[in-house]
Chains A and B, each alone.
Chain A
Amino acid sequence: MGFDWSTFVLEIVNFLILVWILKRLLYVPVMAAIERRRQKVAAVLAEADAGRDEAERLRAEYESRREDWDRERTAARADLEQTLNAERERRIADIDAEIARRREQAAIVDRRERDEAQRHTEQQALALAAGFGARLLGRIADPALERQLVDLFVADLGGLPDGERRTFAANMGKGGEVRITSAWSLDPVQRAAVEDALADAADGPLTFSYAEDPELIAGLRVDAGALVMRANLRDELQFFAAAGR
Protein backbone atom coordinates (compact mmCIF):
# COMPACT_ATOMS: atom_id res chain seq x y z
CA MET A 1 0.00 0.00 0.00
CA GLY A 2 2.96 2.30 0.38
CA PHE A 3 3.98 5.12 -1.89
CA ASP A 4 6.23 4.10 -4.77
CA TRP A 5 8.27 6.75 -6.51
CA SER A 6 8.84 4.76 -9.67
CA THR A 7 5.10 4.19 -10.05
CA PHE A 8 4.54 7.86 -9.30
CA VAL A 9 6.96 9.01 -12.00
CA LEU A 10 5.88 6.42 -14.56
CA GLU A 11 2.23 7.29 -13.96
CA ILE A 12 3.05 10.93 -14.69
CA VAL A 13 4.89 10.00 -17.88
CA ASN A 14 2.13 7.61 -18.88
CA PHE A 15 -0.52 10.25 -18.35
CA LEU A 16 1.36 12.80 -20.42
CA ILE A 17 1.67 10.22 -23.20
CA LEU A 18 -2.06 9.54 -22.89
CA VAL A 19 -2.76 13.27 -23.17
CA TRP A 20 -0.75 13.36 -26.39
CA ILE A 21 -2.46 10.21 -27.76
CA LEU A 22 -5.98 11.38 -27.01
CA LYS A 23 -5.31 14.85 -28.33
CA ARG A 24 -3.86 13.50 -31.57
CA LEU A 25 -6.16 10.51 -32.08
CA LEU A 26 -9.41 11.56 -30.46
CA TYR A 27 -9.90 15.23 -29.88
CA VAL A 28 -8.43 16.64 -33.10
CA PRO A 29 -9.91 14.07 -35.54
CA VAL A 30 -13.32 14.02 -33.87
CA MET A 31 -13.52 17.81 -33.74
CA ALA A 32 -12.33 17.95 -37.34
CA ALA A 33 -15.06 15.51 -38.35
CA ILE A 34 -17.62 17.55 -36.46
CA GLU A 35 -16.32 20.74 -38.05
CA ARG A 36 -16.46 19.14 -41.51
CA ARG A 37 -20.01 18.07 -40.94
CA ARG A 38 -20.86 21.48 -39.53
CA GLN A 39 -19.40 23.12 -42.63
CA LYS A 40 -21.40 20.76 -44.84
CA VAL A 41 -24.54 21.58 -42.92
CA ALA A 42 -23.66 25.25 -43.18
CA ALA A 43 -23.09 24.82 -46.90
CA VAL A 44 -26.43 23.05 -47.27
CA LEU A 45 -28.09 25.77 -45.22
CA ALA A 46 -26.35 28.43 -47.28
CA GLU A 47 -27.50 26.66 -50.44
CA ALA A 48 -31.00 26.46 -49.04
CA ASP A 49 -30.83 30.16 -48.15
CA ALA A 50 -29.55 30.93 -51.63
CA GLY A 51 -32.37 28.85 -53.09
CA ARG A 52 -34.84 30.63 -50.86
CA ASP A 53 -33.40 34.01 -51.86
CA GLU A 54 -33.56 32.98 -55.51
CA ALA A 55 -37.14 31.87 -55.03
CA GLU A 56 -37.90 35.18 -53.32
CA ARG A 57 -36.24 37.03 -56.18
CA LEU A 58 -38.21 35.04 -58.75
CA ARG A 59 -41.39 35.64 -56.79
CA ALA A 60 -40.67 39.37 -56.65
CA GLU A 61 -39.86 39.34 -60.37
CA TYR A 62 -43.08 37.45 -61.07
CA GLU A 63 -45.03 39.91 -58.95
CA SER A 64 -43.39 42.79 -60.78
CA ARG A 65 -44.15 41.23 -64.15
CA ARG A 66 -47.70 40.56 -63.10
CA GLU A 67 -48.09 44.16 -62.00
CA ASP A 68 -46.61 45.27 -65.32
CA TRP A 69 -49.00 42.98 -67.13
CA ASP A 70 -51.89 44.34 -65.10
CA ARG A 71 -50.83 47.89 -65.92
CA GLU A 72 -50.42 47.02 -69.60
CA ARG A 73 -53.75 45.23 -69.60
CA THR A 74 -55.43 48.20 -67.94
CA ALA A 75 -53.80 50.60 -70.40
CA ALA A 76 -54.73 48.37 -73.34
CA ARG A 77 -58.28 48.11 -72.05
CA ALA A 78 -58.43 51.90 -71.65
CA ASP A 79 -57.07 52.33 -75.18
CA LEU A 80 -59.55 49.80 -76.49
CA GLU A 81 -62.42 51.49 -74.69
CA GLN A 82 -61.26 54.84 -75.99
CA THR A 83 -60.98 53.45 -79.52
CA LEU A 84 -64.38 51.79 -79.20
CA ASN A 85 -65.91 55.00 -77.90
CA ALA A 86 -64.35 56.98 -80.73
CA GLU A 87 -65.48 54.37 -83.25
CA ARG A 88 -68.95 54.32 -81.73
CA GLU A 89 -69.18 58.08 -81.78
CA ARG A 90 -67.87 58.13 -85.34
CA ARG A 91 -70.41 55.51 -86.40
CA ILE A 92 -73.16 57.31 -84.54
CA ALA A 93 -72.14 60.53 -86.32
CA ASP A 94 -72.09 58.64 -89.63
CA ILE A 95 -75.48 57.15 -88.88
CA ASP A 96 -76.82 60.55 -87.84
CA ALA A 97 -75.43 62.04 -91.04
CA GLU A 98 -76.89 59.17 -93.04
CA ILE A 99 -80.20 59.57 -91.29
CA ALA A 100 -80.13 63.31 -91.94
CA ARG A 101 -79.17 62.70 -95.55
CA ARG A 102 -81.91 60.13 -96.03
CA ARG A 103 -84.35 62.29 -94.19
CA GLU A 104 -83.41 65.13 -96.49
CA GLN A 105 -83.69 62.82 -99.47
CA ALA A 106 -87.04 61.62 -98.18
CA ALA A 107 -88.08 65.21 -97.69
CA ILE A 108 -86.94 66.02 -101.21
CA VAL A 109 -88.70 62.98 -102.58
CA ASP A 110 -91.76 63.80 -100.55
CA ARG A 111 -91.64 67.39 -101.66
CA ARG A 112 -91.09 66.26 -105.20
CA GLU A 113 -93.96 63.81 -105.01
CA ARG A 114 -96.08 66.45 -103.41
CA ASP A 115 -95.12 68.92 -106.14
CA GLU A 116 -95.71 66.23 -108.72
CA ALA A 117 -99.08 65.45 -107.22
CA GLN A 118 -99.85 69.11 -107.07
CA ARG A 119 -98.72 69.59 -110.62
CA HIS A 120 -100.68 66.53 -111.65
CA THR A 121 -103.65 67.88 -109.85
CA GLU A 122 -103.12 71.24 -111.48
CA GLN A 123 -102.77 69.57 -114.83
CA GLN A 124 -105.88 67.60 -114.20
CA ALA A 125 -107.58 70.78 -113.11
CA LEU A 126 -106.30 72.59 -116.17
CA ALA A 127 -107.31 69.69 -118.39
CA LEU A 128 -110.71 69.64 -116.78
CA ALA A 129 -110.88 73.39 -117.09
CA ALA A 130 -109.77 73.17 -120.73
CA GLY A 131 -112.31 70.44 -121.42
CA PHE A 132 -114.94 72.36 -119.59
CA GLY A 133 -113.96 75.54 -121.39
CA ALA A 134 -113.96 73.72 -124.73
CA ARG A 135 -117.43 72.34 -124.14
CA LEU A 136 -118.65 75.69 -122.92
CA LEU A 137 -117.00 77.63 -125.73
CA GLY A 138 -118.18 75.00 -128.21
CA ARG A 139 -121.71 75.76 -127.18
CA ILE A 140 -121.34 79.52 -127.43
CA ALA A 141 -119.09 79.60 -130.54
CA ASP A 142 -120.63 81.16 -133.67
CA PRO A 143 -119.56 83.06 -136.79
CA ALA A 144 -119.58 86.30 -134.92
CA LEU A 145 -117.01 84.99 -132.53
CA GLU A 146 -115.16 83.69 -135.54
CA ARG A 147 -115.12 87.12 -136.99
CA GLN A 148 -113.88 88.71 -133.81
CA LEU A 149 -111.06 86.25 -133.57
CA VAL A 150 -110.09 86.87 -137.24
CA ASP A 151 -110.09 90.55 -136.59
CA LEU A 152 -108.03 90.06 -133.51
CA PHE A 153 -105.54 87.94 -135.56
CA VAL A 154 -105.29 90.58 -138.23
CA ALA A 155 -104.80 93.29 -135.60
CA ASP A 156 -102.12 91.36 -133.80
CA LEU A 157 -100.32 90.55 -137.03
CA GLY A 158 -100.34 94.16 -138.00
CA GLY A 159 -99.01 95.22 -134.62
CA LEU A 160 -95.97 92.94 -134.65
CA PRO A 161 -92.74 94.66 -133.68
CA ASP A 162 -90.13 95.11 -136.40
CA GLY A 163 -87.87 92.34 -135.11
CA GLU A 164 -90.64 89.74 -135.08
CA ARG A 165 -91.89 90.95 -138.38
CA ARG A 166 -88.42 90.40 -139.97
CA THR A 167 -88.25 86.94 -138.44
CA PHE A 168 -91.73 86.16 -139.78
CA ALA A 169 -90.76 87.36 -143.25
CA ALA A 170 -87.55 85.33 -143.25
CA ASN A 171 -89.49 82.16 -142.38
CA MET A 172 -92.25 82.79 -144.96
CA GLY A 173 -90.01 83.61 -147.90
CA LYS A 174 -91.18 85.00 -151.26
CA GLY A 175 -94.21 83.25 -152.78
CA GLY A 176 -94.57 80.75 -149.97
CA GLU A 177 -97.67 78.62 -149.67
CA VAL A 178 -99.90 79.37 -146.69
CA ARG A 179 -102.66 77.04 -145.50
CA ILE A 180 -105.45 78.68 -143.50
CA THR A 181 -107.74 76.39 -141.46
CA SER A 182 -110.81 77.85 -139.77
CA ALA A 183 -113.66 76.51 -137.60
CA TRP A 184 -116.25 78.36 -139.59
CA SER A 185 -116.17 79.23 -143.26
CA LEU A 186 -114.50 82.61 -143.88
CA ASP A 187 -116.28 85.06 -146.05
CA PRO A 188 -114.33 86.86 -148.80
CA VAL A 189 -113.88 89.98 -146.72
CA GLN A 190 -112.34 88.05 -143.92
CA ARG A 191 -110.15 86.11 -146.31
CA ALA A 192 -108.97 89.29 -147.97
CA ALA A 193 -108.14 90.86 -144.60
CA VAL A 194 -106.19 87.83 -143.52
CA GLU A 195 -104.34 87.52 -146.85
CA ASP A 196 -103.45 91.21 -146.83
CA ALA A 197 -102.18 91.04 -143.27
CA LEU A 198 -100.07 87.96 -144.01
CA ALA A 199 -98.69 89.36 -147.24
CA ASP A 200 -97.90 92.58 -145.48
CA ALA A 201 -96.08 90.72 -142.68
CA ALA A 202 -94.21 88.52 -145.17
CA ASP A 203 -93.38 91.61 -147.18
CA GLY A 204 -94.26 89.84 -150.39
CA PRO A 205 -96.93 87.82 -152.27
CA LEU A 206 -98.07 84.46 -150.85
CA THR A 207 -100.16 81.54 -152.06
CA PHE A 208 -103.20 80.74 -149.90
CA SER A 209 -105.35 77.65 -149.45
CA TYR A 210 -108.32 77.19 -147.07
CA ALA A 211 -109.79 74.42 -145.00
CA GLU A 212 -112.39 74.05 -142.27
CA ASP A 213 -111.98 72.21 -138.98
CA PRO A 214 -114.82 72.41 -136.41
CA GLU A 215 -112.44 71.11 -133.75
CA LEU A 216 -110.97 74.59 -133.65
CA ILE A 217 -114.31 75.76 -132.08
CA ALA A 218 -113.75 79.28 -133.30
CA GLY A 219 -110.90 81.15 -134.99
CA LEU A 220 -108.22 79.98 -137.40
CA ARG A 221 -104.87 78.38 -137.76
CA VAL A 222 -102.24 79.45 -140.29
CA ASP A 223 -99.59 76.93 -141.48
CA ALA A 224 -96.82 78.72 -143.37
CA GLY A 225 -93.98 76.30 -143.87
CA ALA A 226 -92.36 75.67 -140.56
CA LEU A 227 -94.35 78.44 -139.00
CA VAL A 228 -97.77 77.81 -137.42
CA MET A 229 -99.89 80.65 -136.16
CA ARG A 230 -102.78 79.75 -133.89
CA ALA A 231 -105.66 82.07 -133.39
CA ASN A 232 -108.44 79.70 -132.38
CA LEU A 233 -110.13 78.64 -129.15
CA ARG A 234 -109.01 75.01 -129.20
CA ASP A 235 -105.34 75.88 -129.43
CA GLU A 236 -105.80 78.58 -126.84
CA LEU A 237 -107.40 76.08 -124.50
CA GLN A 238 -104.55 73.66 -125.21
CA PHE A 239 -102.08 76.44 -124.46
CA PHE A 240 -103.97 77.05 -121.26
CA ALA A 241 -103.86 73.37 -120.34
CA ALA A 242 -100.19 73.05 -121.31
CA ALA A 243 -99.24 76.12 -119.35
CA GLY A 244 -99.66 74.10 -116.13
CA ARG A 245 -97.17 71.40 -117.14
Chain B
Amino acid sequence: MPQEEIFAHTLVQLGPLAIRDSLATTWLITLVLWLACTLLVRHLSDAPGMLQTAVEGIVVGIEDAIRQVLPDDVARVLPFIMTLWIFLVVANLAGLIPGLHSPTRDPSATAALALLVFLSVHWFGIRSQGLRNYLKHYLTPSPILLPFHIVSEISRTLALAVRLFGNMMSLELVALLLVWIAGLLVPIPILMLHIVEALVQAYIFGMLALVYIASAIQTRQPETAKPSNEE
Protein backbone atom coordinates (compact mmCIF):
# COMPACT_ATOMS: atom_id res chain seq x y z
CA MET B 1 0.00 0.00 0.00
CA PRO B 2 1.83 3.15 -1.14
CA GLN B 3 2.08 5.96 1.37
CA GLU B 4 0.86 8.49 -1.23
CA GLU B 5 -2.53 6.78 -1.12
CA ILE B 6 -2.80 7.26 2.61
CA PHE B 7 -1.04 10.47 3.55
CA ALA B 8 -0.98 13.87 1.94
CA HIS B 9 1.91 14.34 -0.38
CA THR B 10 3.47 17.18 -2.35
CA LEU B 11 2.37 17.49 -5.94
CA VAL B 12 4.42 20.49 -7.00
CA GLN B 13 7.26 22.33 -5.30
CA LEU B 14 7.30 26.00 -6.28
CA GLY B 15 10.41 27.27 -4.54
CA PRO B 16 9.56 27.44 -0.84
CA LEU B 17 5.90 26.62 -1.58
CA ALA B 18 4.93 23.01 -1.59
CA ILE B 19 1.60 22.36 -3.30
CA ARG B 20 0.15 19.26 -1.67
CA ASP B 21 -2.72 17.17 -3.01
CA SER B 22 -4.82 18.32 -0.05
CA LEU B 23 -4.33 21.94 -1.06
CA ALA B 24 -5.14 21.11 -4.66
CA THR B 25 -8.33 19.39 -3.54
CA THR B 26 -9.18 22.42 -1.40
CA TRP B 27 -8.72 24.67 -4.41
CA LEU B 28 -10.89 22.33 -6.47
CA ILE B 29 -13.58 22.37 -3.79
CA THR B 30 -13.40 26.17 -3.64
CA LEU B 31 -13.71 26.37 -7.41
CA VAL B 32 -16.67 23.99 -7.47
CA LEU B 33 -18.44 25.87 -4.69
CA TRP B 34 -17.81 29.19 -6.45
CA LEU B 35 -19.19 27.85 -9.75
CA ALA B 36 -22.17 26.25 -8.02
CA CYS B 37 -22.98 29.42 -6.11
CA THR B 38 -22.58 31.57 -9.23
CA LEU B 39 -24.95 29.36 -11.20
CA LEU B 40 -27.39 29.20 -8.31
CA VAL B 41 -27.46 32.96 -7.82
CA ARG B 42 -28.21 33.48 -11.51
CA HIS B 43 -31.19 31.18 -11.28
CA LEU B 44 -32.65 32.40 -8.01
CA SER B 45 -36.35 33.05 -8.39
CA ASP B 46 -39.34 33.86 -6.24
CA ALA B 47 -40.82 30.49 -7.17
CA PRO B 48 -37.97 28.22 -6.07
CA GLY B 49 -37.29 24.84 -7.64
CA MET B 50 -36.02 21.75 -5.84
CA LEU B 51 -32.35 22.80 -5.93
CA GLN B 52 -33.04 26.34 -4.69
CA THR B 53 -35.34 24.97 -2.02
CA ALA B 54 -32.62 22.57 -0.86
CA VAL B 55 -30.00 25.32 -0.76
CA GLU B 56 -32.36 27.66 1.06
CA GLY B 57 -33.09 24.84 3.49
CA ILE B 58 -29.38 24.36 4.16
CA VAL B 59 -28.79 28.08 4.70
CA VAL B 60 -31.87 28.52 6.88
CA GLY B 61 -31.02 25.36 8.83
CA ILE B 62 -27.51 26.64 9.57
CA GLU B 63 -28.95 30.03 10.50
CA ASP B 64 -31.44 28.41 12.88
CA ALA B 65 -28.69 26.33 14.49
CA ILE B 66 -26.62 29.46 15.07
CA ARG B 67 -29.66 31.39 16.29
CA GLN B 68 -30.30 28.80 18.99
CA VAL B 69 -26.80 29.39 20.36
CA LEU B 70 -26.28 33.07 19.52
CA PRO B 71 -29.65 34.68 18.95
CA ASP B 72 -28.23 38.22 18.87
CA ASP B 73 -25.16 37.65 16.69
CA VAL B 74 -26.46 35.49 13.87
CA ALA B 75 -25.56 37.85 11.03
CA ARG B 76 -22.05 38.40 12.41
CA VAL B 77 -21.13 34.74 12.92
CA LEU B 78 -23.12 33.09 10.15
CA PRO B 79 -20.68 33.53 7.21
CA PHE B 80 -17.79 31.98 9.09
CA ILE B 81 -19.69 29.07 10.63
CA MET B 82 -21.64 28.38 7.43
CA THR B 83 -18.44 28.32 5.37
CA LEU B 84 -16.86 26.04 7.92
CA TRP B 85 -19.73 23.56 7.82
CA ILE B 86 -20.15 23.56 4.05
CA PHE B 87 -16.40 23.29 3.39
CA LEU B 88 -15.93 20.48 5.92
CA VAL B 89 -18.90 18.48 4.60
CA VAL B 90 -17.63 18.75 1.04
CA ALA B 91 -14.02 18.20 2.02
CA ASN B 92 -14.78 15.19 4.20
CA LEU B 93 -16.95 13.62 1.47
CA ALA B 94 -14.43 14.34 -1.26
CA GLY B 95 -12.60 11.16 -0.33
CA LEU B 96 -15.50 9.14 -1.72
CA ILE B 97 -14.77 10.39 -5.22
CA PRO B 98 -12.29 8.08 -6.94
CA GLY B 99 -8.91 9.76 -7.41
CA LEU B 100 -9.55 12.37 -4.71
CA HIS B 101 -8.74 12.40 -1.01
CA SER B 102 -10.18 14.40 1.81
CA PRO B 103 -8.10 17.53 2.46
CA THR B 104 -8.92 17.08 6.12
CA ARG B 105 -6.67 14.01 6.29
CA ASP B 106 -3.80 16.53 6.06
CA PRO B 107 -2.84 17.89 9.52
CA SER B 108 -1.73 21.14 7.90
CA ALA B 109 -5.29 21.73 6.65
CA THR B 110 -6.99 20.84 9.91
CA ALA B 111 -4.44 22.93 11.83
CA ALA B 112 -5.20 25.85 9.55
CA LEU B 113 -8.92 25.47 10.22
CA ALA B 114 -8.29 25.11 13.95
CA LEU B 115 -6.12 28.23 13.93
CA LEU B 116 -8.87 30.10 12.09
CA VAL B 117 -11.34 29.01 14.74
CA PHE B 118 -8.90 30.08 17.46
CA LEU B 119 -8.46 33.50 15.89
CA SER B 120 -12.14 33.92 15.15
CA VAL B 121 -13.03 33.20 18.76
CA HIS B 122 -10.88 36.10 19.92
CA TRP B 123 -11.94 38.26 16.97
CA PHE B 124 -15.63 37.91 17.70
CA GLY B 125 -15.03 38.15 21.44
CA ILE B 126 -13.09 41.40 21.15
CA ARG B 127 -15.61 42.84 18.66
CA SER B 128 -18.41 41.93 20.97
CA GLN B 129 -17.01 43.07 24.32
CA GLY B 130 -14.07 45.29 23.54
CA LEU B 131 -10.42 44.35 24.09
CA ARG B 132 -10.23 45.15 27.81
CA ASN B 133 -13.41 43.37 28.77
CA TYR B 134 -12.52 40.39 26.63
CA LEU B 135 -9.06 40.02 28.13
CA LYS B 136 -10.47 40.57 31.60
CA HIS B 137 -12.39 37.32 31.40
CA TYR B 138 -9.08 35.43 31.45
CA LEU B 139 -8.52 36.82 34.94
CA THR B 140 -11.89 35.83 36.30
CA PRO B 141 -12.86 34.53 38.71
CA SER B 142 -9.20 34.70 39.78
CA PRO B 143 -5.94 35.70 38.03
CA ILE B 144 -4.54 32.40 39.19
CA LEU B 145 -6.70 30.77 36.52
CA LEU B 146 -4.98 32.64 33.68
CA PRO B 147 -2.52 29.82 32.86
CA PHE B 148 -5.35 27.35 32.84
CA HIS B 149 -7.34 29.56 30.49
CA ILE B 150 -4.37 29.79 28.14
CA VAL B 151 -3.74 26.05 28.28
CA SER B 152 -7.44 25.48 27.66
CA GLU B 153 -7.43 27.73 24.60
CA ILE B 154 -4.41 26.00 23.10
CA SER B 155 -5.49 22.49 23.97
CA ARG B 156 -8.97 22.83 22.55
CA THR B 157 -7.55 24.28 19.34
CA LEU B 158 -5.14 21.43 19.09
CA ALA B 159 -7.94 19.02 19.88
CA LEU B 160 -10.00 20.47 17.06
CA ALA B 161 -7.21 19.95 14.56
CA VAL B 162 -6.17 16.54 15.76
CA ARG B 163 -9.72 15.22 16.15
CA LEU B 164 -10.66 16.08 12.60
CA PHE B 165 -7.36 14.94 11.18
CA GLY B 166 -7.35 11.67 13.14
CA ASN B 167 -10.91 10.70 12.28
CA MET B 168 -10.66 11.51 8.58
CA MET B 169 -7.23 9.97 8.34
CA SER B 170 -8.44 6.77 9.98
CA LEU B 171 -11.53 6.65 7.74
CA GLU B 172 -9.41 6.94 4.62
CA LEU B 173 -6.98 4.41 5.96
CA VAL B 174 -9.68 1.88 6.81
CA ALA B 175 -11.32 2.36 3.43
CA LEU B 176 -8.05 1.88 1.59
CA LEU B 177 -7.19 -1.17 3.66
CA LEU B 178 -10.55 -2.77 2.95
CA VAL B 179 -10.34 -2.04 -0.75
CA TRP B 180 -6.83 -3.36 -0.78
CA ILE B 181 -7.75 -6.54 1.12
CA ALA B 182 -11.35 -7.37 0.15
CA GLY B 183 -11.90 -5.86 -3.26
CA LEU B 184 -14.68 -3.53 -4.36
CA LEU B 185 -17.97 -4.84 -2.86
CA VAL B 186 -17.02 -5.38 0.76
CA PRO B 187 -16.08 -1.74 1.51
CA ILE B 188 -19.56 -0.42 0.58
CA PRO B 189 -20.88 -0.53 4.19
CA ILE B 190 -17.65 1.06 5.30
CA LEU B 191 -18.19 3.78 2.69
CA MET B 192 -21.64 4.38 4.15
CA LEU B 193 -19.97 4.69 7.52
CA HIS B 194 -17.54 7.08 5.86
CA ILE B 195 -20.43 9.32 4.81
CA VAL B 196 -21.92 9.32 8.28
CA GLU B 197 -18.57 9.90 9.94
CA ALA B 198 -17.72 12.70 7.51
CA LEU B 199 -20.99 14.47 8.26
CA VAL B 200 -20.60 13.92 12.01
CA GLN B 201 -17.06 15.25 12.03
CA ALA B 202 -18.08 18.32 10.02
CA TYR B 203 -20.94 18.93 12.41
CA ILE B 204 -18.75 18.47 15.48
CA PHE B 205 -16.05 20.78 14.20
CA GLY B 206 -18.49 23.49 13.21
CA MET B 207 -20.57 23.16 16.39
CA LEU B 208 -17.48 23.28 18.60
CA ALA B 209 -16.33 26.38 16.75
CA LEU B 210 -19.76 27.92 17.27
CA VAL B 211 -19.73 27.04 20.96
CA TYR B 212 -16.24 28.51 21.40
CA ILE B 213 -17.26 31.70 19.64
CA ALA B 214 -20.47 31.88 21.66
CA SER B 215 -18.56 31.43 24.89
CA ALA B 216 -16.23 34.25 23.88
CA ILE B 217 -19.11 36.56 22.99
CA GLN B 218 -21.23 35.70 26.01
CA THR B 219 -18.43 35.65 28.59
CA ARG B 220 -19.29 39.17 29.77
CA GLN B 221 -22.69 39.37 28.17
CA PRO B 222 -24.56 40.85 31.21
CA GLU B 223 -22.02 43.65 31.53
CA THR B 224 -21.56 44.27 27.86
CA ALA B 225 -25.16 44.06 26.86
CA LYS B 226 -25.96 47.71 27.51
CA PRO B 227 -22.85 49.60 26.28
CA SER B 228 -22.77 48.61 22.64
CA ASN B 229 -20.43 51.54 21.86
CA GLU B 230 -17.56 49.76 23.51
CA GLU B 231 -16.90 47.84 20.31
Q: Roughly how many angstroms separate A40 CA and B103 CA in the complex, as a whole number?
A: 42
- A7 close to B20 (CB less than 8 A): yes
Across the interface, A18 reaches (CB within 8 A) one of B17, B30, B41, namely: B30
- A18 close to B113 (CB less than 8 A): no
Chain A residues within 8 Å of B208, by CB: none
A155 within 8 A of B: no
What are the interface flags for B82-111 relative to A under an 8 Å C-beta threshold, 1 for contact and 0 otherwise? 110011000000000000000100111101
Nearest to A13 among chain B residues (CB) is B112
Across the interface, A25 reaches (CB within 8 A) one of B16, B17, B38, namely: B38
What bracket does the count of chain A residues touching chain B fall in?
A: 20 to 34
- A21 close to B55 (CB less than 8 A): no
- B46 close to A37 (CB less than 8 A): yes
* Chain A interface residues toward B at CB < 8 A: 1-12, 14-19, 21-23, 25-27, 29-31, 33-34, 36-37, 40
Q: Roughly how many angstroms separate A70 CA and B38 CA in the complex, as a whole number?
A: 68
With A12-B115, A31-B59 as given contacts, are A22 and B18 in contact (CB-CB < 8 Å)? no
- B30 close to A21 (CB less than 8 A): yes
Across the interface, B116 reaches (CB within 8 A) one of A12, A23, A34, namely: A12
Between-chain CB contacts (< 8 Å), 13 pairs:
A1-B7, A2-B107, A3-B111, A7-B18, A11-B22, A11-B23, A11-B103, A14-B26, A22-B83, A25-B38, A26-B82, A29-B41, A33-B52
Chain B residues within 8 Å of A40, by CB: 46
- A6 close to B17 (CB less than 8 A): yes
B78 within 8 A of A: yes
- B8 close to A26 (CB less than 8 A): no
Give the number of residues in B that approach A within 8 Å (Cβ atoms): 47
B56 within 8 A of A: yes
- A7 close to B23 (CB less than 8 A): yes
With A1-B107, A14-B23, A23-B79 as given contacts, are A34 and B30 in contact (CB-CB < 8 Å)? no
- A30 close to B59 (CB less than 8 A): yes
B37 within 8 A of A: yes
B135 within 8 A of A: no
Across the interface, A30 reaches (CB within 8 A) one of B33, B44, B87, B111, namely: B44
Across the interface, B16 reaches (CB within 8 A) one of A1, A3, A6, A17, namely: A6
What are the interface flags for B1-38 relative to A under an 8 Å C-beta threshold, 1 for contact and 0 otherwise? 00100011010000011111011001100100110011
Q: Roughly how many angstroms separate A21 CA and B79 CA in the complex, as a whole number?
A: 10
Chain B residues within 8 Å of A15, by CB: 83, 87, 112-113, 116
Q: Roughly how many angstroms separate A33 CA and B60 CA in the complex, as a whole number?
A: 12
Extra A-B contacts (7), CB below 8 Å, given A29-B44, A30-B56: A1-B107, A2-B107, A8-B115, A17-B30, A18-B30, A27-B59, A33-B48
B124 within 8 A of A: no
Chain A residues within 8 Å of B86, by CB: 22
The 7 closest A-B pairs by CB, nearest first: A25-B37, A11-B112, A7-B108, A1-B7, A23-B79, A19-B83, A6-B17
